[in-house]
Structure 1
Amino acid sequence: MADVEIEIEEQESEQLYFPEPSERQLTARAVIVGCLVGSIVSCTNIYIGLKIGWAFGASIISAVLGFSIFSLLNRKLSVLETNIAQTSGSAAGYMSSAAGLLAPIPAMMLLGYNFSWYALMMWSVSVAFLGVFFAVPLRRQVIDVDKLRFPTGTATAETILAMYGDAADALAKARVLVIAGICAGLFTLAYHFVPELEQPPIHEWEWVPGVAYLAVAAAWGFKVYLGPSLLGAGFLIGPRVVLSLVGGAILGWGSLGPYCQSMEWAPGPIMAYENGPRGWLLWPGVALMVSEALGSLAFSWKTFVNAFTMPVAKSLDEEQTVSGHIPNSWWIGGLIGGSILAIIITQFVFDIPWYLTLIAIPVSFILSIVAVRSAGETDINPIGGMGKVTQLIFGGIAPGSISTNLMAAAITSAGASQAADMMQDLKTGKMLGAAPRKQFIAQLCGICVGILFAVPVYFIFTKAYELGSEQLPAPAAMAWKAMAVILNEGFGALPPFAEESIIIAGIIGLAIAGLRQIKSIANFVPSGLAMGIAFIVPAYYSLVMFYGLVVWLIWKAIAPAAAQKYNFALASGLIAGEGLMGIVNAGLTIVGIHAFGDIQLRIRELLQYLGLQ
Structure 2
Amino acid sequence: MTMANRSEDSDLINREAHMEKAVEAREVNMGDEEKNKEKAVGSIERIFENTKVPSWKEQLTLRAFVVSLVLGVLFSFIVMKLNLTTGIIPSLNVSAGLLGFFFVKTYTKLLEKAGMLKQPFTRQENTVIQTCVVASSGIAFSGGFGSYLFGMSQTIAEQSNDDTGSHNVKTPELGWMIGFLFVVSFLGLFSVVPLRKIMIIKFKLTYPSGTATAHLINSFHTPQGAKLVKKQVKALGKFFSFSFLWGFFQWFFTAGEDCGFIQFPSLGLKAYKNKFYFDFSATYVGVGMICPYIINISLLVGAILSWGIMWPLIGARKGDWFPADISSSSLHGLQGYRVFIAIAMILGDGLYNFLKVLSLTIRGLIKEFHDHSSELPVDKDQILSYDDQRRTQLFLKDQIPIWVALCGYFGIAIISMATVPHIFPQLKWYYILVIYIFAPVLAFCNAYGCGLTDWSLASTYGKLAIFTIGAWAGAEHGGVIAGLAACGVMMNIVSTASDLMQDFKTGYMTLASPKSMFVSQVIGTAMGCVISPSVFYIFLKAFKNLGKPGSEYPAPYALVYRNMAILGVEGFDALPKNCLTLCYVFFAGAILINIVKELVGKKWSRFIPLPMAMAIPFYLGAYFAIDMCVGSLILFVWQKVDRIKADAFGSAVASGLICGDGIWTLPSSILALCGVQPPICMKFLSRKNNSRVDALLAS
Given that residues 38 and 58 in structure 1 are in contact (C-alpha distance below 8 angstroms), is that contact kept between their aligned partners in structure 2? no
Deviation at 1:3, TM superposition (A): 4.7
Aligned counterpart for 2:289 among listed residues 235, 242, 245: 235
Deviation at 1:287, TM superposition (A): 0.7
Given that residues 287 and 502 in structure 1 are in contact (C-alpha distance below 8 angstroms), is that contact kept between their aligned partners in structure 2? yes
Hey, what's the Cα distance between the residues in 1 that align with 2:338 and 2:53? 59
Decide which moves more: 265-274 or 506-515. Answer: 265-274
Match of 1:466 in 2: 546
Given that residues 187 and 412 in structure 2 are in contact (C-alpha distance below 8 angstroms), is that contact kept between their aligned partners in structure 1? yes
Hey, what's the Cα distance between the residues in 2 that align with 1:300 and 1:59? 23
Deviation per CA, 1:185-216: give whole Å up to 9, x if none. 1211221221365326347xxxxxxx9xx222
Match of 2:316 in 1: 262
**Residues 468 and 354 (structure 1 numbering): CA distance in 2 closer, same or farther, change over 3 Å?**
same
Given that residues 147 and 558 in structure 2 are in contact (C-alpha distance below 8 angstroms), is that contact kept between their aligned partners in structure 1? yes
Hey, what's the Cα distance between the residues in 1 that align with 2:446 and 2:14? 31
AA in 1 matched with 2:563: A
Larger radius of gyration: 2
Deviation per CA, 1:118-172: give whole Å up to 9, x if none. 1100111222111211221221121111010001111111111111122111121
Q: Which ranges in structure 1 are unaligned for 5 or more consecutive residues? A: 204-210, 312-319, 599-613
Hey, what's the Cα distance between the residues in 1 that align with 2:395 and 2:121? 29
Hey, what's the Cα distance between the residues in 1 that align with 2:63 and 2:220? 18
Residue 367, structure 1, aligned to residue 445, structure 2: no
Decide which moves more: 297-306 or 459-468. Answer: 297-306
Given that residues 10 and 144 in structure 1 are in contact (C-alpha distance below 8 angstroms), is that contact kept between their aligned partners in structure 2? no
Hey, what's the Cα distance between the residues in 2 that align with 1:255 and 1:597? 36
Hey, what's the Cα distance between the residues in 1 that align with 2:529 and 2:517? 18
Deviation at 1:276, TM superposition (A): 4.4
Given that residues 98 and 127 in structure 1 are in contact (C-alpha distance below 8 angstroms), is that contact kept between their aligned partners in structure 2? no
**Residues 270 and 511 (structure 1 numbering): CA distance in 2 closer, same or farther, change over 3 Å?**
farther
Aligned counterpart for 1:54 among listed residues 88, 91, 94: 88
Hey, what's the Cα distance between the residues in 1 that align with 2:272 and 2:204? 51
Q: Structure 2-normalised TM-score?
A: 0.78
Deviation at 1:243, TM superposition (A): 0.7
Hey, what's the Cα distance between the residues in 2 that align with 1:395 and 1:9? 52
Aligned counterpart for 2:142 among listed residues 98, 101, 109: 98
Hey, what's the Cα distance between the residues in 2 that align with 1:93 and 1:146? 29
Given that residues 53 and 511 in structure 2 are in contact (C-alpha distance below 8 angstroms), is that contact kept between their aligned partners in structure 1? no
**Residues 71 and 21 (structure 1 numbering): CA distance in 2 closer, same or farther, change over 3 Å?**
closer
Residue 72, structure 1, aligned to residue 155, structure 2: no
Given that residues 286 and 479 in structure 1 are in contact (C-alpha distance below 8 angstroms), is that contact kept between their aligned partners in structure 2? yes
Residue 391, structure 1, aligned to residue 466, structure 2: yes
Match of 2:261 in 1: 198
Given that residues 99 and 127 in structure 1 are in contact (C-alpha distance below 8 angstroms), is that contact kept between their aligned partners in structure 2? no
Hey, what's the Cα distance between the residues in 1 that align with 2:508 and 2:559? 39
AA in 2 matched with 1:49: N
Aligned counterpart for 1:429 among listed residues 500, 507, 528: 507
Q: Structure 1-normalised TM-score?
A: 0.89
Residue 573, structure 1, aligned to residue 656, structure 2: yes
Given that residues 473 and 536 in structure 1 are in contact (C-alpha distance below 8 angstroms), is that contact kept between their aligned partners in structure 2? no
AA in 2 matched with 1:466: L
Hey, what's the Cα distance between the residues in 2 that align with 1:346 and 1:162? 44
Match of 2:530 in 1: 452
Hey, what's the Cα distance between the residues in 2 that align with 1:567 and 1:331? 40
Hey, what's the Cα distance between the residues in 2 that align with 1:116 and 1:571? 34
Secondary structure in 2 aligned to 1:408? helix
Aligned counterpart for 1:349 among listed residues 419, 423, 447: 423
Q: Which ranges in structure 2 are unaligned for 5 or more consecutive residues? A: 1-9, 24-42, 112-119, 158-168, 370-393, 682-699
Given that residues 293 and 385 in structure 1 are in contact (C-alpha distance below 8 angstroms), is that contact kept between their aligned partners in structure 2? yes
Match of 2:489 in 1: 411
Match of 2:151 in 1: 107
Aligned runs of 1:13-28 on 2, under 5 Å? 16=45, 20-22=52-54, 24-28=58-62
Deviation per CA, 1:438-457: give whole Å up to 9, x if none. 11111111111222221111
Deviation at 1:391, TM superposition (A): 2.4
Residue 278, structure 1, aligned to residue 335, structure 2: yes
Match of 2:413 in 1: 339
**Residues 171 and 362 (structure 1 numbering): CA distance in 2 closer, same or farther, change over 3 Å?**
farther
**Residues 171 and 545 (structure 1 numbering): CA distance in 2 closer, same or farther, change over 3 Å?**
same
AA in 1 matched with 2:64: A
Hey, what's the Cα distance between the residues in 2 that align with 1:596 and 1:138? 58
Deviation at 1:42, TM superposition (A): 2.1
Residue 440, structure 1, aligned to residue 518, structure 2: yes
Hey, what's the Cα distance between the residues in 1 that align with 2:636 and 2:326? 37
Give the 4+ runs in structure 1 shifted more than 6 A. Answer: 10-15, 307-311
Hey, what's the Cα distance between the residues in 2 that align with 1:308 and 1:125? 33
Deviation at 1:235, TM superposition (A): 0.5
Please provide the CA RMSD for this pair.
2.7
Given that residues 90 and 287 in structure 2 are in contact (C-alpha distance below 8 angstroms), is that contact kept between their aligned partners in structure 1? no
Secondary structure in 2 aligned to 1:147? coil
Match of 1:121 in 2: 178
Given that residues 58 and 86 in structure 1 are in contact (C-alpha distance below 8 angstroms), is that contact kept between their aligned partners in structure 2? no
Match of 1:562 in 2: 645
Count matched residues. Answer: 581
Decide which moves more: 531-540 or 110-119. Answer: 110-119
AA in 2 matched with 1:289: I
Given that residues 268 and 277 in structure 1 are in contact (C-alpha distance below 8 angstroms), is that contact kept between their aligned partners in structure 2? no
Given that residues 253 and 679 in structure 2 are in contact (C-alpha distance below 8 angstroms), is that contact kept between their aligned partners in structure 1? no
Deviation at 1:532, TM superposition (A): 0.7
Deviation at 1:21, TM superposition (A): 4.7
Decide which moves more: 7-16 or 70-79. Answer: 7-16
Given that residues 282 and 658 in structure 2 are in contact (C-alpha distance below 8 angstroms), is that contact kept between their aligned partners in structure 1? yes
Given that residues 468 and 568 in structure 2 are in contact (C-alpha distance below 8 angstroms), is that contact kept between their aligned partners in structure 1? no
Residue 188, structure 1, aligned to residue 247, structure 2: yes
Deviation at 1:426, TM superposition (A): 0.6
Deviation at 1:55, TM superposition (A): 2.7
AA in 2 matched with 1:515: V
Aligned counterpart for 2:362 among listed residues 299, 305, 308: 305
AA in 1 matched with 2:570: E
Hey, what's the Cα distance between the residues in 1 that align with 2:494 and 2:146? 14
AA in 1 matched with 2:52: E
Deviation at 1:510, TM superposition (A): 0.9
Given that residues 245 and 534 in structure 1 are in contact (C-alpha distance below 8 angstroms), is that contact kept between their aligned partners in structure 2? yes
Deviation at 1:423, TM superposition (A): 0.8
**Residues 97 and 174 (structure 1 numbering): CA distance in 2 closer, same or farther, change over 3 Å?**
same
Given that residues 285 and 627 in structure 2 are in contact (C-alpha distance below 8 angstroms), is that contact kept between their aligned partners in structure 1? yes
Residue 377, structure 1, aligned to residue 452, structure 2: yes
Match of 2:397 in 1: 323
Deviation at 1:8, TM superposition (A): 5.9
Deviation per CA, 1:59-106: give whole Å up to 9, x if none. 332221121122223055112111111111121121112222232101
Deviation at 1:395, TM superposition (A): 4.2
Deviation at 1:9, TM superposition (A): 5.6
Hey, what's the Cα distance between the residues in 1 that align with 2:335 and 2:636? 32
Aligned counterpart for 2:218 among listed residues 149, 153, 161: 161
AA in 2 matched with 1:353: K
Hey, what's the Cα distance between the residues in 2 that align with 1:455 and 1:529? 27
Hey, what's the Cα distance between the residues in 2 that align with 1:306 and 1:507? 25
Secondary structure in 2 aligned to 1:381? coil
Hey, what's the Cα distance between the residues in 2 that align with 1:253 and 1:438? 49
